[in-house]
């Protein structure tokens, strides 16, 4: 049994918060934020469930599937709407899906973790899954702390993954965590995010490089075979550092963080969906996904886009 990505969709709340909006009330500037992070504006608002539902409905429409065709929801999120139940549970009811649903917390690597888990489930028993990455980080960010407020925001993206005969959409993956470094980025119950930004930055570059090299070695795929690189959208300098070391051009890289900020599990599917909507992906293309976040988790995967076999040379 193989699998195919048959639909995709994303959701952003309507409220735009610009760098100048922060500069108007905090000791910061558009120049500092855009030069240090690449972020120019971000979206804030909504709930994780509402953003996930909007993204899921768009993905189902693109796949031309009714919700009842889905028998598994995997919702990657660090910001569930409530501690109990899982956000995927009312989402499952709102959409009218069949089968099961669960939340998965692997922070900014969550969407890739979710994709790998969903693909493995389809290998076992067929069917179709919605894999969603959704976060509302603005709700757990101290909006008066300039060192985190300008970074974190809200958004969601989703794909439909269907069991099909033949090859799996996930050619290979590398998943990891370094729990000894967990305190570098954390949020207590009822609290807000604290982060040692410089150390997280250093580890993000190292972990993404190692993880990408591991997945390329495991799959035998070369960088030049990759049609599109979709990295976690935390800081454009992290992306540029990884690209430079691996020889990936920025032209082949999906970027949304200038308009979305860091949306954690939402970030990779948001960038993937925008690239697909812009016609940058074709059936059979190889896509490299890589994320790094709280935990500290990381995940990279080589994925074959869309229906059908390998892209024509
Ligand atoms: N505006 C102006 N000055 C600021 C701001 C701001 N918004 N934020 C911090 N500063 C100041 C600091 O106070 C510091 O001042 P000081 O030198 O007087 O002490 C100075 O700028 C430099 O601070 P650094 O933290 O060293 O700045 P750096 O260049 O490292 O950039 C940043 C900070 C953007 C946070 C960077 O470290 C980063 O991107 N880290 C990685 C974040 C990340 O990737 N997270 C991924 C996981 S997210 C998740 O899992 C939810």
Q: Where are the domains of the chain?
A: 2-164, 170-307
Whole-number Å distance, alpha carbon 203 to ligand 1 midpoint, is 14
Whole-number Å distance, alpha carbon 52 to ligand 1 midpoint, is 29
CATH number for the segment(s) 170-307: 3.40.47.10
Q: Is 19 a catalytic residue?
A: no
Whole-number Å distance, alpha carbon 295 to ligand 1 midpoint, is 19
Atom number of ligand 1 nearest to Cα 29: 1
Residues lining ligand 1, Cβ inside 6 A? 28, 32-33, 36-37, 107-108, 146-147, 150, 185, 197-198, 200-201, 204, 234-235, 238, 262, 264, 293-294
Cα separation, 103 vs 89, in Å, equals 8
- For the beta carbon of residue 135, count every other beta carbon within 10 angstroms: 30
CA angle 291, 274, 199 (to 5 degrees): 25
Cα separation, 259 vs 249, in Å, equals 20
Cα separation, 101 vs 75, in Å, equals 8
Looking at 53-127, which runs of residues are DSSP E strands?
72-76, 100-104
Predicted confidence pLDDT, tens digits, the chain (313 residues):
899 999 999 999 999 999 999 999 999 999 999 999 999 999 999 999 999 999 999 999 999 999 999 999 999 999 999 999 999 999 999 999 999 999 999 999 999 999 999 999 999 999 999 999 999 999 999 999 999 999 999 999 999 999 999 999 999 999 999 999 999 999 999 999 999 999 999 999 999 999 999 999 999 999 999 999 999 999 999 999 999 999 999 999 999 999 999 999 999 999 999 999 999 999 999 999 999 999 999 999 999 999 755 543 3
Angstrom distances, CA of residue 241 to CA of 11, 120, 132, 244: 28, 32, 28, 5
Dihedral over Cα of 6, 261, 256, 203: its sign: negative
Q: Is 108 a catalytic residue?
A: yes
Number of separate helices (H) and strands (E) present in the chain: 10, 13
Whole-number Å distance, alpha carbon 39 to ligand 1 midpoint, is 12
What are the residues whose beta carbons fall under 8 Å from the beta carbon of 118, sequence distance 6 or more? 72, 74, 129, 131, 161
Which residue matches tokens 């030049």? 224
Atom number of ligand 1 nearest to Cα 293: 50
Atom number of ligand 1 nearest to Cα 200: 41
**Ligand 1: residue whose CA is nearest its atom 9:** 147
Residue 177: φ, ψ to 5° = -150, 145
Question: Given the DSSP bridges, would you call strands 185-186 and 170-177 parallel, antiparallel or unpaired?
Answer: unpaired
Cα separation, 46 vs 29, in Å, equals 26
Q: Is 235 a catalytic residue?
A: no
* CA-derived radius of gyration, the chain: 18
CATH number for the segment(s) 2-164: 3.40.47.10
Residue 42: φ, ψ to 5° = -150, 170
- For the beta carbon of residue 148, count every other beta carbon within 10 angstroms: 20
Catalytic residue among 19, 97, 235, 262: 262
DSSP code, position 311: P
Cα separation, 252 vs 155, in Å, equals 23
The pLDDT assigned to 194 comes to 98
Atom number of ligand 1 nearest to Cα 150: 7
Q: What pTM, to 2 d.p., does this model score?
A: 0.96
Cα separation, 143 vs 97, in Å, equals 36
Domains 2-164 and 170-307 are alike in CATH topology: yes
Q: Which of 31, 36, 262 to mutate to test the pocket of ligand 1 (most atoms within 8 A of CB)?
A: 36
Which residue matches tokens 């922060």? 22
């Amino acid at each position: 049994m193989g699998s195919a990505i048959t639909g995709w969709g994303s959701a952003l709340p309507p409220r735009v918060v610009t760098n100048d909006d922060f500069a108007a009330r905090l000791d910061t500037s558009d120049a500092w934020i855009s030069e240090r992070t690449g972020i120019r504006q971000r979206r804030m608002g909504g709930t994780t469930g509402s953003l996930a539902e909007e993204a899921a409905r768009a993905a189902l429409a693109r796949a031309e599937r009714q919700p009842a065709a889905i028998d598994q929801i995997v919702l990657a999120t660090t910001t569930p709407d409530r501690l109990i139940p899982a956000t995927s549970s009312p989402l499952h009811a709102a959409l009218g899906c069949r089968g099961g649903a669960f939340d998965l917390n692997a922070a900014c690597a969550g969407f890739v973790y979710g994709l790998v888990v969903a693909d493995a489930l389809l290998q076992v028993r067929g069917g179709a899954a919605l894999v969603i990455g959704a976060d509302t980080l603005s709700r757990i960010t101290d909006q008066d702390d300039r060192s985190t407020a300008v970074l974190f925001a809200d958004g969601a993206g989703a794909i439909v993954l269907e069991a099909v005969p033949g090859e799996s959409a996930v050619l290979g993956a590398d998943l990891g965590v370094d729990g000894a470094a967990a305190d570098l980025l954390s949020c207590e119950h009822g609290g807000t995010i604290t982060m040692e930004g410089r150390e997280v930055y250093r580890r993000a570059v190292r972990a993404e490089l190692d993880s990408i090299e591991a997945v390329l070695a495991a799959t035998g795929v070369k960088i030049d075979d990759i049609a599109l690189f979709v990295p976690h959208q935390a800081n454009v300098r992290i992306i540029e550092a990884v690209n430079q070391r691996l020889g990936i051009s920025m032209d082949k890289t999906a970027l949304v963080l200038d308009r979305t900020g860091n949306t954690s599990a939402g970030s990779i599917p948001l960038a993937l969906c925008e690239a697909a909507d812009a016609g940058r992906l074709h059936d059979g293309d190889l896509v490299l996904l890589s994320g790094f976040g709280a935990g500290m988790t990381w995940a990279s995967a080589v994925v074959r886009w869309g229906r059908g076999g390998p892209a024509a040379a």
